[in-house]
Structure 1
Amino acid sequence: MSFVTPTLLQVLPSIHLVLGLLLAAWSLMFLMRIVLTWYPQVDSASGVWALVIWPTEPVLSLTRRVVSPIGGVDVTPVIWLGLVSLFRELLVGQQGVLSQILMRAQAVA
């Protein structure tokens, strides 16, 4: 763990927390986008739904260019929910990289 400097060890718990919260929020937004596909009559440009659509639409629109709807159903939110969940688990999950660095640093200290 020679790349872990004392300064990084001080900042790493905050990075771990913020990254975990951001990835969890993004997962929740993609889950809400999946639910929104069930109700096409909902005006998604107004209210709370705009807060869900604004951060997710850029990546979904790029993915829609590659993955077309299957049987008329947009599957891109499902794909991104899986990817964000995977990244969250790999980085800040119990066996995630940042979690392991934090645990080893605490064991050494």
Structure 2
Amino acid sequence: MLLAISPADAGLLLGILKPILTVLSLGMIGRIILAWYPEIDMQKLPWSFVYWPTEPVLAPTRKIIKPFNGLDVSPIAWFAILSFLNEILAGPQGILNLIQRQGVY
């Protein structure tokens, strides 16, 4: 078995991982929206609340995924990755939910 964790541990991981993935996804949605407005200085309040937590992830990604027609698509790529991870790990049929439900029966 590749991942041998108990149902209780899966529930704990689920309780920690799901909010983290949700907050990161919301940050990426914020960056996607802010990318439509290039005149905004994202290093000033209130935009810096979205800029500073997401920039360490997006800066290296921009080197791989170049802007498309002047639009930064790296937050879209990260939102897709985070959505995939959320669905695979914490979704209704996700790995952690399935492991957690094993202990219910």
Runs of 4 or more consecutive aligned structure 1 residues displaced over 6 Å after TM superposition:
none
TM-score of the two chains, using structure 2 as the length reference: 0.88
Q: In 1, Cα distance between the equivalents of 2:46 and 2:104?
A: 41
Please state how far the C-alpha of 1:60 moved relative to its aligned partner.
Answer: 0.8
Q: In 1, Cα distance between the equivalents of 2:8 and 2:85?
A: 23
Letter in 1 for 2:4: F
TM-score of the two chains, using structure 1 as the length reference: 0.85
1:48/1:106 Cα in 2 relative to 1: closer, same or farther (>3 Å)?
farther
Unaligned runs of 5+ in 1: none
Q: In 1, Cα distance between the equivalents of 2:5 and 2:9?
A: 11
Which range is displaced more, 21-30 or 48-57?
A: 48-57
2:42–2:48 CA contact under 8 A, matched in 1: yes
Greater Rg by CA: 1
Higher helix share: 1
The sequence identity of aligned pairs, in percent, is: 36
1:49/1:12 Cα in 2 relative to 1: closer, same or farther (>3 Å)?
same
1:69 equivalent in alignment to 2:67: yes
Please state how far the C-alpha of 1:47 moved relative to its aligned partner.
Answer: 2.1
Please state how far the C-alpha of 1:44 moved relative to its aligned partner.
Answer: 1.2
Per-residue CA deviations over 1:53-103 (Å, capped at 9, x if unaligned) read 122111111111111111111111111100000001000001111000001
2:10–2:97 CA contact under 8 A, matched in 1: no
Please state whether the residue corresponding to 2:55 is helix, strand or coil: helix
Report the counterpart of residue 29 of structure 1 in structure 2: 27
Letter in 2 for 1:105: G
Q: 2:14 aligns with which of 13, 16, 36?
A: 16
Q: In 2, Cα distance between the equivalents of 1:10 and 1:40?
A: 46
Q: Would you say how many aligned residue pairs link Structure 1 and Structure 2?
A: 104
Q: In 1, Cα distance between the equivalents of 2:87 and 2:46?
A: 27
Between 1 and 2, higher relative CO (CA 8 Å, sep ≥ 6) is seen in 2
1:46 equivalent in alignment to 2:44: yes
Letter in 1 for 2:78: W
CA RMSD of aligned residues (A): 1.8
